[in-house]
Amino acid sequence: MKKTILIFLVGLSMYNCKAQIISIEEANTYFLSEDQGIPDQVTAIKDTNNKLDEFLGLWTLDYNSKHYELTITKFESTLVDIPHDILLVRHKVTDENNLILDDTTSLPNDSASIMDGRFFLNDNETYLLSYTGPNTKCGQFGDVIIYIDNASLNGNQMIFHLDPGLDIINSNNCTEPLTFPFPKDTFLTFTKQ
């Protein structure tokens, strides 16, 4: 019986040495490195330091006769079979008459129209997300960066910037002008509600 327990404990300790959870900050060093991928022993990438929490909640902005709302939540996604904590950003855009122009607030987490997080950039403050609109073949996609402006209003303001994609996959079907729900190449300042 003692021998069976000893074998079990040795096996368990060997498994625990192989399994490893790393923080999203540590994972960034691998994401941003050209030479390294995520090590094989990593079994999960978690927000162990609650770095994503400052982004969570409802953020609003009134800009150019439009009202913008961002609802940011934390989600466990899968990155090459590794559970990975990321941010999801749903948005709602209305005009001055409260007419809904664009709304992803009721879409499921796996919808391509939900902005989904990737990782923090080199400064570990600026977070990168992917934006995909309904007309991706004509270039309605891009990168979004967000960061909290801790110097103003005690961190209750967030900078948002949409950098549109440059590629058109099938220009033969692109007859209408390309639009985005957010101003392109403009730094917007959202306020936390």
Residues 158-172 have pLDDT tens digits of 999 999 887 655 567
Q: For residue 129, which phi and psi values (nearest 5 degrees)?
A: -130, 160
Higher-scoring residue by pLDDT: 30, 86? 86
Q: How would residue 13 be classed by pLDDT, with cut points 50, 70 and 90?
A: very low
pTM for the full predicted model: 0.84
Instruction: Say if residue 12's pLDDT is above 60.
Output: no
Residue type, 65: S
Domain assignment present for residue 108? The answer is yes
Q: What pairs with residue 79 in β-bridges?
A: 82
CATH number, domain of 130, equals: 2.40.128
Domain assignment present for residue 40? The answer is no
Domain that holds residue 169: 47-192
Domain assignment present for residue 33? The answer is no
Instruction: Say if residue 109's pLDDT is above 50.
Output: yes
Domain assignment present for residue 39? The answer is no
Q: How would residue 10 be classed by pLDDT, with cut points 50, 70 and 90?
A: very low
Domain assignment present for residue 31? The answer is no
Domain assignment present for residue 52? The answer is yes
* Cβ contacts of 163-170, under 8 Å, gap ≥ 24: 164/139, 164/140, 165/139, 165/140, 165/141, 166/139, 167/139, 168/137, 168/138, 168/139, 169/136, 169/137, 169/138, 169/139, 170/137, 170/138
The per-residue pLDDT for range 32-74, each reduced to its tens digit, is 777 677 888 999 999 999 999 999 999 999 999 999 999 999 9
* Most trustworthy range by pLDDT among 8-12, 75-79, 115-119: 115-119
**Domain count of the chain?**
1
The pLDDT of residue 2 is 52
